[in-house]
Amino acid sequence: MKAVQIFYEGRVQGVGFRYSVRQIAKGFNVMGWVRNLADGRVELQASGETEEVSAFLEGIRQSDLGSLIKKESENALATPPASRGFEIRI
């Protein structure tokens, strides 16, 4: 199992980023959430089998969202995010 926290920077708010990430997540066996932060970044937490999480994150990079992301910071999480499925948080 792999659990990660990702911070995305760039033009990632006001462009449907969170909704697109949720749609991409439907194609993978991952759980977690995504939310906007007050400083203009987007935070994502996801967990699942290592290969699924890696493929999900690569799916985000390869989608139309990839051109909006200027910086991506990844941190390993000791415990998986508490969520049912993959959701948008406010």
Please write the tens of the pLDDT for every residue from 9-53.
999 999 999 999 999 999 999 999 999 999 999 999 999 999 999
Q: Mind telling me the catalytic residues? A: 18, 36
Does 2 score more than 90 pLDDT?
yes
Phi, psi of 27 (to 5 degrees): -85, 0
Give the confidence band of 90 by pLDDT, cuts at 50, 70, 90.
Answer: confident
Does 63 score more than 90 pLDDT?
yes
Please write the tens of the pLDDT for every residue from 66-86.
999 999 999 999 999 988 899
For position 84, what pLDDT does the model report?
84
Element (H, E) at 58: helix 50-62
